[in-house]
Amino acid sequence: MAANRSELIRACRDYLQTKIMVVRKAMDSLKEDMENESKSSAGDKFETGREMINIEWNKLSVQLNEYDRLGQILNRIEEHKPNGNIILGSMVITDIAKYFISIPAGEIKSDDEKYYAVGIKAPIAQMLLGKKVGDKITFNGKECIIEDIN
């Protein structure tokens, strides 16, 4: 049985949830570190430690916002209606590989089929967008033919 878009979306959501859990766990750890930080006689050391924690917290917040944005993209994909051209949410089968134009989640296996979940800014996605069945593209020096789009 061939993979369907719902399964690929679910796999992408699982990927995002795993990433979100890792970031939240790191944020919890930083929060604990901040609470345990005590002012020592070397005041500069305390301020430097707090600032390092704040910098890391800000980085993690940016990551969480990005994962939220990717989740919103997945929501838009669920409303996708195939129209013959490759667009956001398309499952693309070429003679070389299978792609899911969605979010950058890497390799996804569904029903023993391997798809590469790629964001629309990925070079391969940029080459595929707007193409239709039968079109050819050359990527990394290899020519491939678009065999099917769902």
Q: Kindly report, residue by residue over 8-39, the tens digit of the pLDDT.
A: 999 999 999 999 999 999 999 998 887 776 55
| Same structural domain, 54 and 25 | yes
Candidate from 15-19, 75-79, 116-120, 132-136 with smallest mean pLDDT: 75-79
At residue 81, the pLDDT reads 75
pTM exceeds cut of 0.95 = no
| Same structural domain, 100 and 142 | yes
Alpha helices for the chain (secondary structure H): 5-36, 43-78, 123-128
Structural element, H or E, at residue 104: none
Average pLDDT estimate for 116-120: 96
Report d(CA 94, CA 147) in Å as an integer: 5
**The token pair that represents 18 in the structure block:** 């795993």
Within a domain: 86:
no
| Same structural domain, 58 and 107 | no
Within a domain: 83:
no
Structural domains counted in the chain = 2
| Same structural domain, 74 and 96 | no
Parent domain of 35: 5-78
Beta carbons within 10 angstroms of residue 17's beta carbon: 12
| Same structural domain, 9 and 74 | yes
| C-alpha 76: how far from chain center | 14
| Same structural domain, 73 and 98 | no
